[in-house]
Amino acid sequence: GKVLEDLQSECRKNGVQIILNQQVEQVEQTADGVRVQTQIEETYETGKIIITVPVPLVSHIKFVPELPEKIAAAENIGFGQAIKIVLRFSEKFWPVRMSFLFSEEQIGTWWTQYPKPDPILVGWLAGPKALGYKDKSNEELLEIAQQSLEKIFKDEVRNKLVAYKVNNWPIDKFAQGAYSYSKPESKKAYRQLRTPVANKIYFACEAVCQEKETATVEGALVAALLDGRPPS
């Protein structure tokens, strides 16, 4: 999208090298900074590193020396499940001013692009309910979505479908879920994760924001602006 293109352009103007499709396996502290090793045995060295993976993936990185307190902190921050289904239609078949819709159907939560006129509906399955659907194919989830809408609107909607996209985050091995949430143990965990390691390793993502913006893009920005400082 335009936002990502603009960010990439600004990064390149400032000499940032963007490297994709290299899964990080090990982060090692050195005398001068940090050494990063990837799955394809590429090695990169830098003075400092910012780790922004979803909290379930923190334990998938090998830290040298080990960082058991960071792993424990990540495990004490909740991480919820969700499946999102985006459907684009040739025309609207819902009320013009409709924003959100809730029903008792299999996929019962929907929202529109209102006040924008785009004929797009977004279906949402979240929490434990999402786990009951995670092993279904995208085609099966599409069928369930269409059946749900037809029961809600008493209308044949599939002949109006133009395109669709399914985000099945529970089975995405690089996400393992969709959003963070606070547990009773999380306040201490936020403080631990937001405390840098030897001024070399920093953790920053929406999951370490303890304010109201947790689980949002705003939360990720707030966490980054804290610059590794523990919460007050």
Taking alpha carbons only, the member of 221, 185, 204, 180 closest to residue 78 is: 180
pLDDT at 231: 47
At residue 215, the pLDDT reads 77
Measure the CA–CA gap between 40 and 36, rounded to whole angstroms. Answer: 12
pLDDT value of residue 232: 46
Residue 63: both structure tokens together: 């830290």
Distances (CA, A) of 73 to 81, 152, 188, 191, 205: 19, 43, 8, 9, 14
| pLDDT score of 172 | 96
Measured in degrees and rounded to the nearest 5, phi and psi for residue 212 equal -65, -15
Closest CA to 208 of 193, 188, 226: 193
Q: Supply the pLDDT for residue 205.
A: 86
pLDDT in tens, the chain (232 residues): 788 899 899 999 999 999 999 999 999 999 999 999 999 999 999 999 999 999 999 999 999 999 999 999 999 999 999 999 999 999 999 999 999 999 999 999 999 999 999 999 999 999 999 999 999 999 999 999 999 999 999 988 999 999 999 999 999 999 999 989 988 989 899 889 989 999 999 998 888 886 677 777 778 877 777 654 544 4
Q: Any idea what DSSP says for residue 231?
A: P
Residue 220 sits at φ, ψ, to 5 deg, of -65, -40
Phi, psi of 101 (to 5 degrees): -140, 135
